[in-house]
Amino acid sequence: MTQTSYVEKVLKRFKIENSKRGFLLIRHGVKLSKKQSPKTDEELRKIFNIPYASAVGSIQYAAQCTRPDVTFALSVTSRYQACAGEAHWTAVKIILKYLRRTKDMFLIYGGGELILEGYSNASFQYDEDDVKSQSRFVFKLNGGVVAWKSSKQDTTMDSTAEAEYIAVSKAAKEAIWMKNYIQELGVVPSIAEPMVIFYDNNGAIAKAKEPRSHH
Q: Which of 46, 77, 101 lies at the terminal end of a domain, its last residue?
A: 101
Q: Does one domain contain both 126 and 192?
A: yes
Is 33 in the same domain as 91?
yes
* Domain annotation covers residue 59: yes
pLDDT given for residue 32 in this prediction? 96
How many other C-beta atoms are found inside a 10 Å radius of the C-beta of residue 72? Answer: 22
Question: Do 83 and 20 sit in the same domain of this protein?
Answer: yes
**Among the three residues 71, 101, 131, which one is the final residue of a domain in this structure?**
101
**Based on the domain organization, do 120 and 210 belong to the same domain?**
yes
**Residue 88 within any structural domain of the chain:** yes
pTM, entire model: 0.89
- Each of the 215 residues of the chain gets a pLDDT tens digit; together they read 899 999 999 999 999 998 888 888 998 888 999 999 999 999 999 999 999 999 999 999 999 999 999 999 999 999 999 999 999 999 999 999 999 999 999 888 876 678 889 999 999 999 999 999 999 999 998 888 999 999 999 999 999 999 999 999 999 999 999 999 998 888 888 888 888 999 988 888 888 777 666 55
- Angle at which helices 4-13 and 86-101 cross, to 10°: 140
From start to end of 22-178, where are the E strands? 116-123, 134-141, 144-152
Question: Are residues 92 and 32 both part of a single domain?
Answer: yes
Question: What is the distance between the terminal CA atoms of the chain, rounded to a whole angstrom?
Answer: 42
Please check whether residue 106 lies inside any domain of the structure: no
What is the C-alpha to C-alpha distance for residues 70 and 25, in angstroms, rounded to an integer? 7
Which residues constitute the domain of residue 145? Answer: 116-214
Q: Are residues 28 and 95 in the same domain?
A: yes
Please indicate, yes or no, if residue 8 is contained in any of the structural domains. yes
The domain total for the chain is 2
pLDDT given at position 109: 84
Residue 111 within a domain: no
Q: State the pLDDT at residue 193.
A: 86
Among residues 101, 128, 157, the one where a domain terminates is 101
